Structure 1
Amino acid sequence: MTMDWDDLRVFLAVARGESLSAAGRVLRLDPATVGRRISRLEEDTGAPLFARSPQGYGLTDAGARLLVHAEEAEQAVTRGTEALAGTTGGLSGQIRIGAPDGCANFLLPQVCAAIAREHPEIELQIVALPRVINLSKREADLAIAVSPPATGRLTVQKISDYRLHLVGEADYLDRHDAISEVADIARHPVVGYIPDMIFDKELDYLSELSAERITLASNSVSVQLGFLREGAGLGIAHDFALPFAPNLRKILTDRISLTRTFYLVRHAGDARIERMARVGELLLGGLRAEVARLEALT
């Protein structure tokens, strides 16, 4: 049996969107048309590819087997398109980058702006989400993560270590007794993540502070930094974010100094696509340099 690439494209959209309507938005087709195309593909293959339920469309075992080959076909089509277009030295097309909001707010804008200046035909999109980006559903083409994923057909490269410290707003610290021990933190409001919305164990800093609770909490690093800039209490902040908040001061640096790591995650097959490989290398170099530059300012 010969499969049509257009049918595989519809199959991929449903597998990633888990519904006909989500696939239709991506493909710019009405859901009924998407449903007919999936039914036709299932007839051609002689196997149900999706399990239908009120929650949506989930892949069957046959669908999961087809997904691997459909993604390989997608990557082959992309490589072929780029080969026919030729290489002029510049990069073009749309690439979506998913990242935790700290990286997305304080590192990626500078790095992506530099890439766009060098390659004006490229379209870079930053998806800033306080959760793990799902590459399997193509929420993004590339993802920045704080823990390497344990499963999936993915390639993972270490980008850079980064550092975090306890900070407080300068006037706030001047108004209160000196904080010389970790135990002193208990006398102050603490800013941090909403505990049940911490999406990665590497972001759980509460145990480092000997604090029983978070007084002001958000699932967004930017909101946390806003609390701290307003003198609302003490909290953990990225060193690379501190140049954007010059009224914050590090404290207890000899007692509380955290190191975490950023990783670049992408689909294994995308490494063979020249455009994706080149953008990945530009991101690696740019983010490493930007972390080092900003941390040197603190």
Structure 2
Amino acid sequence: MNWDDIRLFLAVARAESLTGAGKALRLDPATLGRRIARLEETLGTALFVRSPRGYGLSEAGERLMARAIHAEQALQEGAEELREQEGQLTGSVRVGAPDGVANFLLPQVTAALCDANPGLEVQIVAQPRVFNLSRREADMAIAVSPPKTGRLTVQKITDYHLHLAATRSYLQQHPPIRELADVAGHRIVGYIPDLIFDSELDYLSEVGAARVTLASNSVVVQLNWLRTGAGLGIVHDFAMPFAPGLVKVLPDRLALRRSFYLVRHGDDRRNARLSRFAGLLAEGVRAELARLEAL
């Protein structure tokens, strides 16, 4: 068994399909399937459970994956140490984040990090869900609540604030909102209830709305609805500068506060490069959030 076999195994395990892994590796899925079958034959055990849904890891595959990830990290760290320029970060770092953070905070922060570290490459995975760091879907992730399980390290980055908002034109064309009870008579923009991936994002009870008329799992889609005057919705204060037509509604009656957390795999505490990047990322997010909320 050689490293190339392990590299292919990891790609299939993460993508859970030959097609997805083949795209990532730029390798024909049929060829990849034969390579995986040959690896299983060499090891004398099935690494995957095949089904119509794709390739899931067997018990033997789970054990191999844990060791393969350690080997992958060791190789990456060794290569990066050799390439690293004095005082600068190099190599690739993948950050997972909800799409609000990914769209309104991380672009500015990570661009500044790359300006200061020309050998650094940053990938942002913007998806409204919890990331599986054990499977290395990302090197680190930003979350809206600290995870309760898993071999993870969690660092609180900062608090952030949200308010009810709408366009002036919407407010002028619809019944006045003087109390929270008045919200019930308005069209609400928000999350799809059964796709809310974290209870911290369930704002309905605090808004006092019975249902969401225009719903999306994407914060950006919600913001664009609100920008068109489609209704009322909860908006991050740090996103308000990107939608200058929006105004806060009942800011003295309804003000929400939530927190961002930086989550990393427990084994990465010994990785000086990722630890340094994590510190700079958290510092940058705090500064950029404070700047945008003050506008």
Q: d(CA) in 2 for partners of 1:191 and 1:179?
A: 16
Which aligned pairs between 1:37-48 and structure 2 lie closer than 5 A? 37-48=35-46
| Pick aligned residue for 1:276 from 271, 274, 277 | 274
Query: Using a 3 Å threshold, how does the CA distance of structure 1 residues 188 and 148 change in structure 2: closer, same or farther?
Result: same
Distance in 2 between the 1:32 and 1:233 partners?
50
Distance across 2 between alignment mates of 1:115 and 1:123: 9
Distance in structure 1 (CA, Å) of the matches to 2:5 and 2:148: 31
Query: Please, which of 283, 288, 291 is the counterpart of residue 290 of structure 1?
Result: 288
Deviations 1:69-97 (A, max 9, x none): 11111111112112333442222333222
In structure 2, the residue matched to 1:10 is 8
**Aligned: 1:66 with 2:64:** yes
CA contact (8 A) 2:166 2:229 kept: yes
How many residue pairs match? The answer is 295
Identity fraction in percent: 65
Query: Mind listing any 5+ residue stretches in structure 1 that lack a counterpart?
Result: none
Query: Is residue 2:246 matched to residue 1:263?
Result: no
The answer on 1:194 being equivalent to 2:214 is: no
**Change beyond 3 A, Cα 1:26–1:271:** farther
Distance 1:166 1:152 in 2: 35
Contact 2:162–2:236 (CA<8 Å) still a contact in 1?
Answer: yes
Partner Cα separation in structure 2 for residue 189 and residue 40 of structure 1: 58
Q: Is there any run of 5+ residues in structure 2 with no aligned partner, and where? A: none
Spell out the pairing of 1:168-183 with structure 2 (5 A cutoff): 168-183=166-181
RMSD of equivalent CA atoms? 2.1
Give the Å deviation of 1:176: 4.6
Corresponding residue to 1:23 among 21, 25, 47: 21
Listed as ranges, the matches of 1:113-262 within 5 Å are 113-262=111-260
Q: CA deviation at 1:109?
A: 1.3
How far apart, CA to CA, are the structure 2 residues paired with 1:227 and 1:170? 14
Alignment partner, residue 108 of structure 1: 106
Amino acid in structure 1 at the alignment position of 2:117: H
CA distance in 2, matches of 1:245, 1:85: 42
Where 2:100 maps in the other structure, the secondary structure is helix
Measured after TM superposition, the shift of residue 46 of structure 1 is: 2.9
**How many Å separate the matches in 2 of 1:152 and 1:42?**
28
Letter in 2 for 1:289: A
Q: Report deviation, 1:219.
A: 1.9
Q: Spell out, residue by residue over 1:88-107, the C-alpha distance to the aligned partner (whole angstroms, 9 max, x if none).
A: 22223332222111111111
Which secondary structure does the structure 2 equivalent of 1:255 belong to?
coil
Looking at structure 1, the residues matched to 19 and 108 of structure 2 have their Cα atoms a distance apart, in angstroms, of: 36
Deviation at 1:284, TM superposition (A): 0.5
Letter in 2 for 1:220: S
Cα distance between partner residues in 1 of 2:28 and 2:173: 62
Answer whether contact 2:16 2:56 (CA < 8 A) is retained. Answer: yes
CA contact (8 A) 1:75 1:270 kept: no
Equivalent runs, 1:48-63 vs 2, <5 Å: 48-63=46-61
Cα separation, partners in 2 of 1:173 and 1:37, compared to 1, 3 Å? same
Match of 1:39, SS state, is helix
Q: Can you list the C-alpha shifts for 1:14-65, whole angstroms capped at 9, x where unaligned?
A: 2111122322222333333333332333233332221122222111112111
Moved more, 79-88 or 130-139: 130-139
Report if the CA contact (8 A) 1:7-1:41 is conserved.
Answer: yes
Q: How far apart in 1 are the matches of 2:77 and 2:120? A: 17
Q: How far apart in 2 are the matches of 1:261 and 1:149?
A: 13
Alignment counterpart, residue 86 of structure 2, candidates 85, 88, 93: 88
Scaled by the length of structure 2, the TM-score of the pair is 0.91
Letter in 2 for 1:292: A
| Partner deviation per Cα, 1:274-296 (whole Å, 9 max, x = no partner) | 33222211111000111112122
Question: 2: distance between equivalents of 1:46 and 1:175?
Answer: 71
Mapped partners of 1:225, 1:30: distance in 2: 40
